[in-house]
Every structure is written in C-alpha cells, then in structure tokens.
Amino acid sequence: MLRLNDILQKVQTYHPDADVDLIKKAYVYSARAHQGQVRKSGEPYLIHPLEVSGLLADMRLDEYTISAGILHDTIEDTVATEDEIRQLFGVEVCDIVSGVTKLSKIPYNTTHEKAAENFRRLVVAMTKDIRVILVKLADRLHNMRTLEHMKAEKQERIAQETMDIYAPLANRLGIHWMKAELQDLCLRYLHPKDERELREKLGLTEQARTSYIDEVKSVLRKKMDENEIPCEVQGRVKHLYSIWRKLKDQGINFEELYDIVAFRIVTDSIPHCYEAFGHCHATWRPVPGRFKDFIAMPKPNGYQSLHTTVLGPGGQRAEIQIRTHEMHKVAENGIAAHWTYKEGKNNVQEKGRETFSWLRQLMEHQQELEDPTEFLSSVKVDLFGDAVYVFTPRGEVKELTQGATPVDFAFAIHSEVGQHCSGAKVNGRMVPLRYRLKNGDTVEILTSPNQRPNKDWLGFVKTSKARNRINHYLRLEQHERAVGLGHEILERELKKYGKSLQKILKAEGLKPVMETRHRYHKQEDVLAALGYGKLTASAVLKRILPEEVLEKGPKDVAPKSRLSQLFSAVAKKSSNGITVQGIDDMLVRFGRCCNPVPGDPIVGFVTRGRGVTIHNMQCDKAMALDPARRVDVSWDQKSDVTRTVQIRVITDDRPGILATISQTFTGAGVNILNANCRARKDRRAINDFMVSVKDASQLRSVLRSIEGLSGIHTVERIQA
C-alpha cells in the first residue's frame, strides 16, 4: 500500500522546494473526511485518493495538483465543503478539486462516435485548468485498475466511458503510457474473451519474442556504439489493445500479425536521431512507405519522433522509433511534462514557450485573467473555436455555434421540433427564445402544434441550419398563401363564365397556361403566380377558356369582390410606362421610398393582390425585400407617361429667385404642378416644387441648370 511518505519522497526528487506541508495537511484532512468509508474492495477509502496522488507524483506535477488529488473526492463524498477547502488549502487547490467534482457530475450516456467527441470537448471546455483533467485521468486510471470489485454492469459502463472519453483525452494530451494502460484495462472489461485469448497467445510465443527483442536490441546497441551515438535502446511488445485493434482493423489472425514488437532509440540530439536512423536502414532493409518524419513535421499535439519499419533478423518486421530525451518526455507525459520541475525551479513558463502552442496560450490566459468565468470562455474559444456544448434532457451533448439560442438547439434536434418550438427551459427554468446558451446548459424545448417559425427568429438565430430551415419555411408559407389567393381570384373570375375551378383543376385545365412559361411545373405554380400578381386573371382566362365563351363575355353576376375589382382595374390601367417581364397590363405602383422616374435603374417586387411595386435598384427598402418576390421590370420605351417628382431648392431669401427657378423649369420643358415656398430664420428660403418629368435625364439636366443659378444653396430630389 502506498503511503504518504512515498508520495512526499517522490515529489522531493523532482521538486525539492515543494510545499510538502500542504500535501501533509491535505492528507490529514482527507483521512478525517473519509474516515469510516470503505471501497468496494473492503479497503479503507483513503487508499484511493492516495493512489491517485501517487500517480500525479509519477507525472511530476506540482504540490497543488498532488494535494488536490488527495482531496479530490472530499466535496462529493463527504461533508467537506468548497468554502472549507478554499480556506484551508487556497484557491488553486480548491478550484482543481471543485473542477474534478463538476466533471464527475456530467452525465455520460451517449453511444455514437460524434457524441463522444462532443463530450470530450465539453469536458475540456468545462475545465478552466488543465490540471483538473490530469487529476480526473489519474482518478479514472485508479478506478479502472480496481474495477474488478464492481458489479459486471457497472464495469461495462465505466469501461465504455473510459474508452470513449478518457483514453482519447489522455492521448490528446499526449500521455501515452496512461492511454495504453486505460485501453488495455477497457479491453479486459469490454471484450473479456478476446482479451484472455490474446494474452494467452502472447504468453505462448513470449520466449521466442523475448529472444528476438534481445537480438535486435543488441545489434542496434552495437551499431550505435560503433558510431558513437550516445543513446538508450529499448524494445517492447506493443500494448494489448493496439494489437487487438490491428487484428480487428485488418481482419487477420494473430499468427499473421507481424509488428507486435517495437523498438526505440532515445538519444541526445536531433542530428543523432537522423544519424541513428541512417544506421538502422543500413543494417536492415526498410519496409517502403513506413518512414515518417515527425521531427520535421510534429503531430498537432506536439509529438516528435522518426518512425520506420525494417525487415529485421529472419526477415521479421520491426518498428523503430527514434527521438531525443526531450521528445521522449513529451511523448510519454504530454502536457504533464510541462508541469515538471527541473533543478528545483518552476519552469512552466520556460517550457511552455517551446512546445504546444495552444497549451501555451491557455496558460498565458490563465495568468492574465482574474475572472475564472472569463477564463473559461477564453479556453473554450482557444480550443474549439466558436462552439458551445449543451445537453439534451436525455444527457446527449450537442455542439452549437457560440451564441446559439434555444431555437438553434431545437432545429439541431429535429426540424419538426424547431418549427413548433414555442418556448424553452434551460436548467429547469423558462428562458426567452433569444437566450444565449452556455456550456453545460441542459436545454428542454417546449413545442406546440400551432407554433410556426417567425420572421423575428431570423434576428437572433446563430446556426446556419436554423436560419435555412426558417427561411425555407417562410418561403413555403408565402407560397401557400399565394396559391390560396390565386385559387380565390381564379375561382371568382371563372364563376362569371359559369365555370368551376374545381373541375378545371381536376381536368388539368391549367396546362395551356403552364406551357407559356417553363417555370410553371404544376397547376399550383400558376395559382401561385396569380396570387403573387405575376399573372393576371384575364391572361389565364384567355388561355383556358374556349374563344366562344370569352366572346360572350362574363355573365353579369353578383357584386364584384374587392379582388376582382382590383384585377379588372389592372386590365384598364395599361399605360404606366412599365413592362413587367413582357406583360404590359400589370397593376404597377411606384415605391414611395424612392419614386423612380423613367431611365432610373429599376426592379419590381410582387405584392400579394396588389400587383408589382417598382423600386429604384439602389433603394434600401427594395434590398430588404424577399428576392423570391422579385420580378424583372423595364421602362416602356414607347410610352409617353410622365412621372411626378418633388424637388427641394434652398435659396437665399430674396425677391426674384423664385421667378428665375420657375423659368428654368419651364425652359427645360418641365411642368410645375405645385410650388410651396417659405422663408427660414437664417435668411434662407425653402422652395418645394412638384414637377412632372419625362425621364431621369430630363430631371438631371434641369436640376443642374438650377444649381447653376446664383443665390442657390442646394438642389435635391426629395420623397413625398
């Protein structure tokens, strides 16, 4: 059994200045808190926290982490409180302990790969100090080592969680020995039969393998000595799980598997790495395509080494890794290597500079920021860009864009849920739909069959999925309304001829209209075009009714509806100077916001039941309109309509000016319909004219002429 003294001694070997009293104090406190508790194995509970801090000491971590390791279960399992821990051991230790406690409260019950990745990210995102994860990993490793005392069902659940979350995290952090041990332990509980068989087979061939390892090692040793490369030569059997994985992935038998053994040369410098590598290839034939230079191109987690596979003695494959001591330490302990102490000095900062850049940023942030919540959010941003991780009520983790709302969440669950999302609860409390979700929030969506996506939602949703679905729905809804309206319009018009739309639709009677335009694929499209005002009822009737019926004209029936009045007005009002996609008898209005005149670049927007509204191409209001309602329009060249515009001229307030302006208008052939002049206090006058112009160029030239007059300050076109 591990004793406190063993841990203290271990710490003092790598960190002579460590505050061992802190560790001792943590031990006394933890022993008292856990007093009387026993583990499933029957041993006193205290053994567990002690073993955990022993592992942390093996990883050469600081006294705060070691103390936190001894205390890690006190808040969760005993009467100890966070306040007490903070008072007795300081903020640093307390934060690690409460971080570990928080992590163990995250419910894990996902099964598929993507969810597991989200969960790993959540674990990191919720951790403001990477030491929390290191304690959690040590905790998990010791629990895995002692898993045999648990019930079978619990064994499997914990092993699965370890396989999905903690082994990959250890790997991500570069702590290889821990990843390997966790995976081997998981294999034992998840695939007990495979594990047993594999271990037996390895046992049977062990002798041959040992002598093979010895042989390769001695050859390598000799070559390195001859060439005066100072190094350590290691040979080992690969860990069980990685062998098992290989068998599964390649679908082969144990007997067919070659590279079970791996060799390693650890030397003092990078030039020696490449030199050693050269001697390996000179001694044995390399296997093509197996050479990888992770020294020149380190892995994202900072891992560096040269990898190669050669055909060793007897033609048996041997994998060789070559690296420096420095690289080896990082490869074995990953992130933990940065908390190590050299010659009694805390060189965290020093080490940080040369290695994993993301970790360095993380630690720099930690030193700069005082507010932990601020730090939490910066960690999140650093590690996972703009993501936020939240839970479904069933405990699944969803990854959303930072700033996402319950509506985004609802659409991420299912578009049906999104469409009928009427409210949301976060951590059990009602929140507004525009609430910004935070890491670890549990979100529950309330739905109602009558709820529909709302245009306002577009103002706050963050994910493109939600945005696309809402837009899609709004377009669909608009389309449906247009179809309904078109149906109504056509039905009324047909009634006048004693025809039923119902029957016509049944007989595919709108086909002749569909043939006029390629984009009418269904009869419904014709009705929608009618509803939008892209088509007139008279144009449709012309196509679908026999000539003799049309000639007879409509029976004079009941009072006209508002709509039919509107559309018969369309037919009459044919000369407005605008051609709408080739049709010239459309009901046209001019946007009051920009009031375009002939010659201005224009664009039309179909307004339900009100025909087409013409805007200036540059009009802000037009830009904001739904592009689906946009139609091409042009000025009718032959038409001689005039347009009314308002002109405001600011002048000196003196007699005669008004007359000069009027003459200028008349001289340019522009009719003044109305004039309104008033003096201002600053001895200036405002002169508003309503004039009718032929086109934009006439307007421009007259405005220029007025500008040129004396006593004029500004001339501008204004909106009514």
Which residue numbers are catalytic? Answer: 76-77
User: Which value, to the nearest 10 degrees, does the dihedral of the CA atoms of residues 307, 310, 312, 316 take?
Assistant: 100
Cβ proximity to Mn ion: between 100 and 445 the closer is 100
Between 139 and 525, name the residue whose CB sits nearer to Mn ion. Answer: 139
Nearest CB to Mn ion, comparing residues 73 and 488: 73
- Asked if residue 581 lies in contact with residue 534, where contact means CB atoms within 8 angstroms, the answer is yes
Residue 135 CB, nearest distance to Mn ion (Å)? 9
CB of 186 to Mn ion, least distance (A): 18
**Nearer CB in complex with Mn ion: 169/587:** 169
Decide: is 161 part of the binding site for Mn ion (CB under 5 A): no
Tokens of 467: 């945005």
- Rounded CA-CA distance 542/71 in Å is 88
Contact window for Mn ion (CB under 5 A) among 67-75, 120-128, 271-279, 601-609: 67-75
Report which of 343, 323, 221, 219 is spatially closest to residue 266, judged by C-alpha positions.
323
Nearest CA among 276, 236, 270, 242 for reference residue 257: 242
SS3 529: helix
CB of 30 to Mn ion, least distance (A): 11
Task: Give dist(CA 618, CA 607) in Å, integer.
Answer: 19
Contacts of 82 (CB under 8 A, 6+ apart): 75, 94, 97, 98
Print the binding letters for residues 102-141 with Mn ion: x by CB under 5 A, - otherwise.
-------------------------------------x--
34/264 with CB nearer Mn ion? 34
Q: How far is the CB of 407 from Mn ion (least distance, A)?
A: 39
- DSSP class per residue in 172-195: HTT-HHHHHHHHHHHHHHHSHHHH
What is the distance between the terminal CA atoms of the chain, rounded to a whole angstrom?
92
The 542-561 site mask, x for binding Mn ion (CB under 5 A), equals: --------------------
Residue 139 vs 408, nearer CB to Mn ion: 139
- In the bound state with Mn ion, the residue whose beta carbon lies nearer, of 131 and 629, is 131
* Amino acid at site 87: Q
Whether 712 and 651 have beta carbons less than 8 Å apart is answered as yes
Q: How far is Cα 103 from Cα 95, in angstroms, rounded to an integer?
A: 12
Residue 232 Cβ vs Mn ion, minimum distance, rounded to whole Å: 35
- Minimum CB–partner distance for residue 107 and Mn ion (Å): 17
Phi, psi values for residue 88, rounded to 5°: -80, -35
DSSP H helix total and E strand total for the chain: 31, 23
**Residue 256: DSSP 8-state:** G
User: Is 75 buried (19+), middle (13-18) or exposed (0-12) by CB count in 10 A?
Assistant: buried
Q: What angle do CA 496, 500, 504 make, to 5 degrees?
A: 125
The size of the interface with Mn ion (CB under 5 A), counted in residues, is: 2
| CA 495/CA 554 separation, integer angstroms | 9
Name the DSSP letter for residue 390: E
Cα–Cα distance measured from residue 485 to residue 469, given in angstroms and rounded to the nearest whole number: 24
Q: If DSSP codes are grouped into helix, strand and coil, which group holds residue 571?
A: helix
73 binds Mn ion (CB under 5 A): yes
Q: Using the rule CB under 5 A, give the single segment among 72-80, 372-380, 572-580, 585-593 that binds Mn ion.
A: 72-80
Cα(317)–Cα(229) distance, integer angstroms = 24
Q: Tell the smallest beta-carbon distance from residue 59 to Mn ion (Å).
A: 16
Residues facing residue 267 across a β-bridge: 231, 324
d(CA 419, CA 413): 11
The CA R_g of the chain, rounded to the nearest whole Å, is 40
* CB 104, min distance to Mn ion, A: 8
β-bridge mates for residue 612, sequence order = 588, 606
Nearer Cβ to Mn ion (63/139): 139
Which one of the spans 68-76, 125-133, 610-618, 709-717 is the region binding Mn ion (CB under 5 A)? Answer: 68-76
Give residue number: closest CB to Mn ion: 139
Question: What character string, x for contact with Mn ion (CB under 5 A) and - otherwise, covers 340-379?
Answer: ----------------------------------------
Query: Which of the ranges 73-81, 256-264, 305-313, 602-610 carries the binding residues for Mn ion, by CB under 5 A?
Result: 73-81
CB of 76 to Mn ion, least distance (A): 8
Q: Which residues contact 303 (CB under 8 A, 6 or more apart)?
A: 174, 294, 327, 330, 331
With respect to Mn ion, which residue has the nearer C-beta, 139 or 164?
A: 139
How far from the centroid of its chain's Cα atoms is residue 150's Cα?
A: 39
Nearer to Mn ion, 68 or 124 (CB): 68
- Residue 452 makes CB contacts below 8 A (sequence gap 6+) with 419, 420, 473, 477
The count of other CB atoms within 10 Å of the CB of residue 522 is 12
Q: H/E/C letters for each residue in 654-665? A: CCCHHHHHHHHH
Helices (H), 341-405: 348-354, 357-368, 372-384
Is 493 a binding residue for Mn ion by CB under 5 A? The answer is no
Q: How far is the CB of 188 from Mn ion (least distance, A)?
A: 20
How do beta strands 588-590 and 345-346 pair? unpaired
Antiparallel, parallel or unpaired: β 578-580 and 602-607: unpaired
Q: What share of the chain is helix, strand, coil (3-state, %, to 5)?
A: 55, 15, 30
Output DSSP code: residue 445: E
Shortest Cβ 122–Mn ion spacing (Å)? 20
- Tell me how far, at minimum, the Cβ of 134 lies from Mn ion, in Å: 13
Helix 657-667 crosses helix 696-707 at what angle (to 10 degrees)? 150
Per-residue x/- track, 501-520, Mn ion (CB under 5 A): --------------------
Q: Which is nearer to Mn ion, 146 or 347 (CB)?
A: 146
Q: Least distance in Å: CB of 73 to Mn ion?
A: 5
Q: Which is nearer to Mn ion, 175 or 647 (CB)?
A: 175
Cβ distance to Mn ion smaller for residue 73 or 161: 73
- Note the residues at the interface with Mn ion (CB under 5 A): 73, 139
